[in-house]
Amino acid sequence: MTPLRNTILFFVGDAPFFVSHRLNLVEGAIAAGYEAVVACPASPAVATIEACGARWVEWKIDRSGMAIMAEIRTFTSAFHIARSTAPAVIHAIALKCILHAGIASRILGIPIVGAVSGLGYVYTGATTRSKAMLRRLINRFMNLGLNRRDASFIFQNRDDARMVQFARLDKATIYMIGGSGVDLGAIPMHPHPADSTTIVGLPARLLRDKGVYEFVEAATQIRDRGHNARFILIGDPDPINPTSVTPAELDAWVADGAIEWRPYTRDIASMLAALHIVALPSYREGFPKTIIDASAAGRASVTSDVPGCRDAIIDGVTGLLSPAKDAAALANTLERLILDRDRCVAMGKAARQHAEAFFDIRDVTMRHLEIYRETENRRR
């Protein structure tokens, strides 16, 4: 298929996630002379996408569903969108979008970039017979659609990059980009709050896999030890995610007094400025935006010693690592910074320097544009 226009077509399963993590790619593509088309489900976040100058096309995809007929409809829709848009390059974000867009792009002869922001349920955790069967099926379709010279993958950490071995993608080109980047001007470093009470925040979707339960238990242990600290969950439950915290659980935790809760806010800079420490006891990440933003704000992070999280900090310099799924260890690690404000502040300053060196969103955007051009050129 010959491109009709100099267009980047984004396939996205979650519009709010795209706005918070990837909108810079739309802005960068348009600034570089591309047209940008975003195919994603209907959402209030679409207005923000369109306000940046992109054209929106509705694409219905169930991020967690596996019904065969629904998946066929999703693929058929992706195929028609790609054929009518005729882009220079497709950029598909997250595994399910990559699968559908990958096969459609192969049929149509369109170069594709797949951004893997975490391997998710299929490739992680305990392996059951049903999960093993699903993994083999996904690997086969991945190989069918994406094992070709004009396919590229962007991984955020080397653990996730093992997927190319699982799916035998020996012809595709692999790139590493550590995270989505951050606008260093939009999230400046402010002085730490002068209050003697140490404020610890967990800004994330309220999911089990984000370590929310361990955070609440650690907060309870810190309170029982008599330390002068406040713990705040910052974010909302995700009703369609089976690991989401329930509103009843959240109400009970707040009533108990160990933690406070704040809903998601787009004013990330002000939220982070009010904290001394950012905690992300996640079970696994691609490359956590929470830690990137915390570093830009000059805040020390305490996060899990797991893929993605360990890649986002320098242990002992910009933050501290703690074993995953271990509330007692998390409490002990947080206690080290709660009791040492000078070290907490020093780590925050080092984190800001690290963000300036490695997380500048302008550099991340430029690297994506280079990958688009390189992927398109391999088609010729």
The verdict on 148 and 211 lying in the same domain is no
Give a yes or no: residue 324 inside a domain.
yes
- Joined together, the tokens standing for residue 124 give 């992680």
Give a yes or no: residue 186 inside a domain.
no
The verdict on 127 and 231 lying in the same domain is no
The verdict on 134 and 236 lying in the same domain is no
Q: What is the tally of structural domains in the chain?
A: 2
The verdict on 347 and 219 lying in the same domain is yes
Q: What is the pLDDT along the chain (380 residues), one digit of tens a residue?
A: 454 469 999 999 999 989 988 999 999 999 999 999 999 999 999 999 999 999 999 999 986 666 788 999 999 999 999 999 999 999 999 889 999 999 999 999 999 999 987 666 555 555 667 667 777 777 888 888 889 999 999 988 888 777 777 778 889 999 999 888 999 999 999 999 999 999 999 999 999 999 999 999 999 999 999 999 999 999 999 888 888 999 999 999 999 999 999 999 989 999 999 999 999 999 988 899 999 999 999 999 999 999 899 999 999 999 999 999 999 999 999 999 999 999 999 999 999 999 999 999 999 999 999 999 999 998 75
Domain hosting residue 338, numbered range: 198-358
Give a yes or no: residue 125 inside a domain.
yes
Q: From CA 30, how far away is CA 56, in angstroms rounded?
A: 14
Provide the CATH number for the domain around residue 219.
3.40.50.2000
Give a yes or no: residue 191 inside a domain.
no
The verdict on 308 and 172 lying in the same domain is no
The verdict on 230 and 311 lying in the same domain is yes
The verdict on 33 and 47 lying in the same domain is yes
